[in-house]
A and B are shown apart, each in its own frame.
Chain A
């Protein structure tokens, strides 16, 4: 059954059953992914999947259900389940969005990307993989040499007349290289997201991927103490991502955010400005409307260290008596509407990464963090995380360190940011939104080296 027929049937049947409001959210994901190992196609995936979720107001209460099958049976499956679920829900009643005309006319679809054939993508991988092996004799092999592209099409309809469509596509490449010298084995990875594969230089990628891994060879232990820290872009963005739910009005209203009652207060040092830009040309989360149909717009969340707003969806906005900021979000059609940033990042400063550590008398550079899903308390802000990086003395990198942990509190780190670099990077982990940061200089964190 095609989508529009399904929608019409759903709305007609739903109204017959006594639903006052109904909304249909549609998502189609098409993708191709491939992985090469020693010149052979080790993994090759192509897919097209659709899913719809429906919410409906029944006796003033909102119920949800989803399916991946568009047929008549699903219409009754959805309506029956929404009805049953709505009867149990004890949450405040809520109305669907009427819609308004102020949607930006933007398209995040790159035609260039769809013109690249599968053969070209596989050739690209093979070429980079070959160059990785040739670059240095310490390369043992690749752990991953992979490419993935994704086209996401979304549509939103309700029985008040709302009908919206959006699409976004992107491609990313990942190369994880294992290197070995004597008995020491190290690995790191190169990640790049693009809308234009031809803009990527295979020599540059091979070089960067191998050198990243090589840079960790020769790890040393250093005394456990509090050091001044440079959080490199990748590490800073993954830390911000982990604690980004604190900026959601939902967390604040549920007593799960330390930013409660902190609007217009200083929550970070003067050099920190946090921006959410749903119209970023290369943003994974870019779109013109959110999961509830509210138009998206740029939002300054923290300005020169002062908290200006939380992220809102329709429901949290109504509770706080404000307008939705357009951050109603479903992680997929399987989820109900929550609150999430779109493309959310620390606005770059004026000093380069090299200048940031060039000023350090003694300190530690953190290049990556691990264990974020377990070693961080997203509510209190406390974290104790595994980390990789370098030891710096007199403005120069002396050596990589053995595996470390860094421990601190996110809200204190925000106050302790002394400088913001120019090298904005986004975290490949996009569960919490597409989150970015340049390298940050932090006053100090407790470091333990293995």
Chain B
């Protein structure tokens, strides 16, 4: 992508004003997006992103410059411009010699997206579309999209790191829309993996497309959700988004280093119910949020964040590691060369417990069963979160009762994780996109079915 001598020149140029760390991130990414709507292939878009990000640190100052002028002059100019942001003299503008590292590729790819004919891809979209439309007469629209990316990265820094990686991601998103005379509802499922077209071709379309259609049809006939405080049973897979919002973001060094998190300075303390073990693991084979190396060149790893309710550690990138006087945990991630990396999640999940899903429902006298979660957000400084439930039911006398819609859950992350009172044994992961200061990145959220003794549910039926 760029040769070693040029990389060394750029890394050195960035340090001429006294910086103590410099880094180059080169990205070459191919993207395909295909979208079927109203049974027609409406969008088929291909593109190539190519650019370079140059970063330098001096103590707790961080400077980032990016460009897609990849000529030698352009790169040196960008490095110099970045260096000008700090005013000082190079005491020892020395960089360690670059030695190419062998990548430990733990996520095998068999069919590179660009090697597969698009008509084969269109076949899959059509099949999914047909399954959704055949599901029920109230299905009025289906939008099926395929997203594929091949991202080639090169990361080199003044500490001698010099490594290249290729990340391949494939995702199928299925949107089903149901309607009657006065209403429209939607259902969604979006399986994705750090894998090639083999994942898309082997997908159980029957399952995913039917689920999306079933959610849309079920919600069309649902009553408005009640308001108030209830026990909430959250199902596995994408249900894990609650802990992604409620505690994952608060465990990122970006918030912790500046003590803008309720979890700052609490390592070793009981911060959650002892049923909760919370893990971030970028090494799970071919999962959507998996990585070989992070965007600072550090190898992926498994980080235990909370163990039996005790806070064990945080997700840390190189810059925040400085403020915290510690080391990176392989958690520096970014959307593209247009963003400086920061601490982010990969595949984050609640470890399985002992209860069966049947036991959890049977032990709930009155509450809400959140089968499929939507997205949400959190204010890391306060820990206040909110998120939507895409498919929900009332639970009455230990049984799943009628479907309800429009349920939004709000609360405070630090309090909610204390209130987990049952954890199931059916761990599952779900794919999503997470947005924060270093852009939108693929992450998995995961958990087994679990129950929180009390969450505030906001619905239309104000009691």
- Where the two chains meet, the residues of A that have a C-beta atom closer than 8 Å to any C-beta of B are 37, 40-51, 53, 63-69, 74, 77, 81, 84-85, 88-91, 118, 141, 143, 176, 178, 185-187, 224-226, 254-256, 258, 334-336, 370-371, 373-375, 377, 379-380, 382-386, 403-408, 446-448, 450
Given contacts A68-B50, A88-B122, 5 further A-B contacts (CB under 8 A): A186-B382, A334-B45, A374-B388, A383-B406, A448-B457
Cα-based distance from A371 to B245 in the complex (angstroms): 11
Q: In the complex the two chains form, is B122's CB within 8 Å of A65's CB? A: no
**B260 touches which of A53, A141, A374, A446 (Cβ 8 Å):** A141
**A41 touches which of B61, B67, B407, B412 (Cβ 8 Å):** B61
Interface SS majority for chain B? strand
Q: In the complex the two chains form, is A68's CB within 8 Å of B49's CB? A: yes
Interface centre among A45, A336, A379 (most CB of B within 10 A): A45
Cα-based distance from A299 to B381 in the complex (angstroms): 41
A-B CB proximity, top 4 nearest: A405-B458, A386-B386, A374-B375, A66-B47
Q: A118-B85, A375-B387 are in contact. Are A384 and B460 (CB under 8 A)?
A: yes
Q: A47-B65, A382-B406 are in contact. Are A187 and B228 (CB under 8 A)?
A: no
**What are 21 A-to-B residue pairs whose CB atoms are below 8 Å?**
A41-B63, A41-B86, A42-B60, A47-B66, A49-B67, A53-B47, A64-B45, A89-B42, A91-B42, A224-B227, A254-B141, A255-B177, A371-B377, A371-B388, A382-B460, A384-B407, A384-B408, A385-B386, A405-B456, A408-B460, A448-B462
In the complex, which residue of chain B has the Cβ closest to the Cβ of A405? B458
Q: In the complex the two chains form, is A384's CB within 8 Å of B225's CB? A: yes
In the complex, which residue of chain A has the Cβ closest to the Cβ of B225? A384
Cα-based distance from A88 to B32 in the complex (angstroms): 13
**B61 touches which of A40, A81, A405 (Cβ 8 Å):** A40
Q: In the complex the two chains form, is A141's CB within 8 Å of B460's CB? A: no
Q: A43-B340, A404-B458, A407-B406 are in contact. Are A65 and B63 (CB under 8 A)?
A: no
Q: A371-B408, A384-B388 are in contact. Are A447 and B68 (CB under 8 A)?
A: no
**A187 touches which of B81, B338, B379, B405 (Cβ 8 Å):** B379
Q: In the complex the two chains form, is A141's CB within 8 Å of B258's CB? A: yes
Which residues of A sit under 8 angstroms from B68, Cβ to Cβ? 48-51, 68-69
In the complex, which residue of chain B has the Cβ closest to the Cβ of A188? B379
Cα-based distance from A450 to B383 in the complex (angstroms): 14
Q: In the complex the two chains form, is A48's CB within 8 Å of B62's CB? A: no
Q: Report the interface size for chain B: residues with CB under 8 A from the other chain.
A: 81
Q: In the complex the two chains form, is B340's CB within 8 Å of A371's CB? A: no
B185 within 8 Å of A (CB atoms): yes
B374 within 8 Å of A (CB atoms): yes
Cα-based distance from A51 to B408 in the complex (angstroms): 39
Q: A40-B60, A371-B387, A447-B462 are in contact. Are A143 and B338 (CB under 8 A)?
A: no
Cα-based distance from A382 to B407 in the complex (angstroms): 11
Q: Distance (Å) between the CB of A135 and the closest chain B CB?
A: 18
Q: A386-B386, A448-B227 are in contact. Are A224 and B463 (CB under 8 A)?
A: yes
Segment with Cβ contacts to A, from B33-41, B351-359, B395-403, B423-431: B33-41
- Where the two chains meet, the residues of B that have a C-beta atom closer than 8 Å to any C-beta of A are 31, 34, 37-38, 40-51, 59-70, 81-82, 85-86, 118-119, 122, 140-141, 177, 179, 183-186, 224-225, 227-228, 258-260, 262, 338, 340, 374-377, 379-382, 384-388, 405-408, 410-412, 456-463
Q: Distance (Å) between the CB of A389 and the closest chain B CB?
A: 13
Q: In the complex the two chains form, is A255's CB within 8 Å of B183's CB? A: no
Q: A178-B260, A377-B186 are in contact. Are A85 and B458 (CB under 8 A)?
A: no
Cα-based distance from A176 to B408 in the complex (angstroms): 25
Cα-based distance from A446 to B461 in the complex (angstroms): 7
Cα-based distance from A51 to B42 in the complex (angstroms): 23
Q: In the complex the two chains form, is A225's CB within 8 Å of B41's CB? A: no
